[in-house]
Structure 1
Amino acid sequence: MIELDRRLFLKSAALIGCSAAAHPLMSSMTFASVPSDNRLVVIILRGAMDGLDVLQPYGDPMLAKLRRDISAGPERGALDLDGFYALHPRLQPLLPLWQKGELGFAHAVSTPYRDKRSHFDGQDLLEAGTGNDLPVDRRIGGWLNRLLQTMPGATAETAYAVGVEQMRILSGDAAHLAWAPRASLTLSPQAQTLLEHVYHEDPLFREAARDAIRIGSETEQGERGKGPTADAQALGAFAANRLNGQSRIAAFSIAGWDTHANQEQALGRALDRLAAAILALRDGLGPNWSRTTVLAMTEFGRTVRENGSGGTDHGTGGAMLMAGGAIRGGRAYGDWPGLGEGQLYADRDLMPTRDIRAYAAWAMRGLFGADRDMLERSIFPGLDLGGDPKMLA
């Protein structure tokens, strides 16, 4: 495949406007290389995943009273894990990872963000890794970028971003570039004519543009009929390919977790994509899977009580999924706060018992030797790291 020159994309995007903006690729991906054999993958789950449905605490008797139609445990098909928690049935493809100790969860976690429950603010704070200091100062960048700034010898992986927003989690002063899998253009006939006209006198760019258009057309045709998980599989497979090379840190996002209505179907589809991405990572990484930690994080949880539309609303405490051969899986981490009277946050949400940033920080400390003081002051300003959850094998 001939890759588009970055100048070609930047120069032509201003001309083709809506055609580039309408590109079907909806997830961005970023990479960085660091002097380590360990790998870290961060998946941002955009839309606020309902952790109470993904990892169902059916051993708490209040769950069945507060949720009569969703999150009902093994009686409704969920997969029992340990007698207290049950796994959502759409994550059944990941059950072998749990059994091998390569899948785990942290429950009752959140960022310091409270009460306003805005997706945009919540995601900004999650990726910035800061405290509850809205609006987020864009100059501070993301917490993965600040990690790179503390690591001597870290270099950027050459990459591209095509028609997608930048992952804020890797933005900042440390060298980095963005990459999107299947980096090709799918243009209307009018836009193709315009692009060929603009670069008619430049043989190099003219041929690159033609190849990109051809590849875009072939990719679009090839993706038809592959099913709703095709993009997620592509994200995981592409990330694995880069991580098998020089890259050691990858971050990408999966959308579709906002389940105000018809949660059973909407969440199921999102979980299918998440499972597909994780399995594609495992399969693609091969032996390097044993040195990999995957953290799937969301901006906040959802309400404990289901609403009248078969869904849940924006909440506070939620769950984080962790996977990889480098984790100590087959267990759920964290202190369970309970769902009874007086145990909920604002009488509506799961009470957070640990800052989600602490799990990310302990992963960075174990994988890359990040200094504790640096983690608490610079990478995650204001974080109380607390005790080691011993999440890494």
Structure 2
Amino acid sequence: MHHMPTRRAFLARAGALGCSAAASPVLTPIAMANAPGENRLVVIILRGALDGLDALRPIGDPAFKALRPKLSDGGTPLGDGFFALHPDLAGLAPLWDSGELAFVPATSTPYRDKRSHFDGQDLLEAGSADDAGSVRDGWLNRMLTLLPGVSARTAFALGRTRMRILEGPAPMTHWSPGTTLELGPQAQLLLEYLYGQDPLFAEAGHTALEMGLAEDVAPQGGRAGEVLARYLAQQLRDETRIASLSLSGFDTHQWQKNRLRPALRNLQATLLTLRAELGPIWARTTVLAITEFGRTARENGTGGTDHGTGGAAILAGGALKGGRMLGGWPGLAESALYAGRDLMPLRDVRAYAAWAMRDMYGLRASDLARTVFPGLEMGDNPGLLL
């Protein structure tokens, strides 16, 4: 077991790599844990703060066009046409039509106003209501402590950085890229995809993590998310029941129209590959894709968006009661915005995760609100699952 520095410590060594460092492929792990039963839960962390207003465009809101004169135009209409999918998520429309995709268009963690990727991601993974620094474990691990018969069959992290969401007292194993020379071909390929995604981090990652990979490593066809999902599905077909992975590239301060596209395509590939590879097991699977915070309602002067508050959560899976928007819509009129600049979150994103876990694993709401998500007001059951 190698010592695993925090994200801050890694970045201090890697150099001044800019704001997008928090969303880099170097910091993209995949974690898996064992749990009883046949239901599968996959949590995808979208690092860098997904712009939910671009991924899921509220084209029916009368204030939207003025806020986004250059961004977020068009898309694939869903349902009554109030919302439209970003063109690079159009491949998910069939899942919406078949009830295997749903959105929460206005949600967030309790994190407010400070707008730090690192703090926002820590709070998202810790599952706490305020200071994530006071919480040592992650919410998926705390959920595992409530389940009987959990084993350490598999609990993975690719990369030396923490996958905090699954850290804690429940059994798990941490796999480090320091063991590169002992990897089989499949694991080596996974690392090549992760590091080949973003040329900016290829050399820094090589140096800081002492990977021993060639600096000109590049993916050999396909998307990183597709490779990750194929590998993860293999584990879920075996004994793994609960998994978490990170996808990066969602920090879009500039030229968002182009910079967001590969990240969305990667997310789409991840979901579609999971569905295809899981086969009949997809019917027992729920996927929750969440991000540290949303982005500003108004586009900025460089064709991007800045750190915001409310954002979209994406749910998928054969176990999902999908084809719908969850949690309501606050509107984009100036008086409806949070602090006059951000989409207003209507419900704590932790509540959706908590109700999914209650319905999947029969956990008591009181245990979820006390142990898994301390301080959470769970509210009414949104009825996420079939």
TM range (shorter): 0.7 to 0.9
Shift of 1:165: 1.3
Shift of 1:226: 3.4
1:135/1:244 CA distance change after superposition, 3 Å: closer
Q: Deviations over 1:264-307 (max 9, x none)?
A: 11111100110111111111111100000000000000000000
Q: Which residue of the partner structure matches residue 127 of structure 1?
A: 125
Aligned equivalents of 2:362 and 2:99: distance in 1? 23
Q: Deviations over 1:31-54 (max 9, x none)?
A: 111111100000000000000111
Any gaps of 5 or more consecutive residues in structure 2? 4-9, 15-24, 193-213
Shift of 1:225: 5.4
Q: Is the 8 A contact 1:67 1:305 kept in 2?
A: yes
Q: Which residue of the partner structure matches residue 37 of structure 2?
A: 36
Q: Is the 8 A contact 1:31 1:178 kept in 2?
A: no
Q: Which residue of the partner structure matches residue 353 of structure 1?
A: 346
What TM-score, normalized by structure 2, do the two folds share? 0.83
1:44/1:135 CA distance change after superposition, 3 Å: closer
Q: Which residue of the partner structure matches residue 162 of structure 2?
A: 166
1:172/1:341 CA distance change after superposition, 3 Å: same
Q: Which residue of the partner structure matches residue 76 of structure 2?
A: 79
Q: Is the 8 A contact 1:161 1:179 kept in 2?
A: yes
Secondary structure at 2:174 match in 1: strand
Aligned equivalents of 2:240 and 2:56: distance in 1? 31
1:183/1:242 CA distance change after superposition, 3 Å: farther
Aligned equivalents of 1:142 and 1:225: distance in 2? 31
Q: Which residue of the partner structure matches residue 379 of structure 1?
A: 372
Aligned equivalents of 1:56 and 1:211: distance in 2? 42
Q: Which residue of the partner structure matches residue 263 of structure 2?
A: 270
Q: Is the 8 A contact 1:142 1:172 kept in 2?
A: yes
**Equivalent residue runs for 1:222-301 within 5 Å:** 224=218, 226-227=220-221, 230-301=223-294
Percent of aligned pairs with the same amino acid: 52
The structure whose Rg is larger is: 1
Moved more, 210-219 or 287-296: 210-219
Structure 1 counterpart of 2:78, one-letter code: L
Q: Which residue of the partner structure matches residue 17 of structure 2?
A: none
Shift of 1:177: 1.5
Secondary structure at 1:234 match in 2: helix
Shift of 1:144: 0.3
Q: Deviations over 1:315-365 (max 9, x none)?
A: 000000000100011111111001113100000000010000000001001
Q: Is the 8 A contact 2:285 2:317 kept in 1?
A: yes
Shift of 1:249: 0.2
1:154/1:296 CA distance change after superposition, 3 Å: same
1:137 and 2:141 equivalent? no
Any gaps of 5 or more consecutive residues in structure 1? 1-5, 12-17, 186-208
Structure 1 counterpart of 2:65, one-letter code: A
Q: Which residue of the partner structure matches residue 147 of structure 1?
A: 143
Aligned equivalents of 1:377 and 1:242: distance in 2? 30
Q: Is the 8 A contact 1:122 1:299 kept in 2?
A: yes
Shift of 1:163: 3.5
1:32/1:158 CA distance change after superposition, 3 Å: closer
Structure 2 counterpart of 1:80, one-letter code: P
Secondary structure at 2:112 match in 1: coil
1:362/1:265 CA distance change after superposition, 3 Å: same
Q: Is the 8 A contact 1:158 1:177 kept in 2?
A: yes
What TM-score, normalized by structure 1, do the two folds share? 0.82
Shift of 1:107: 1.2
1:324 and 2:317 equivalent? yes
Secondary structure at 1:248 match in 2: strand
Structure 1 counterpart of 2:60, one-letter code: G
Moved more, 99-108 or 209-218: 209-218
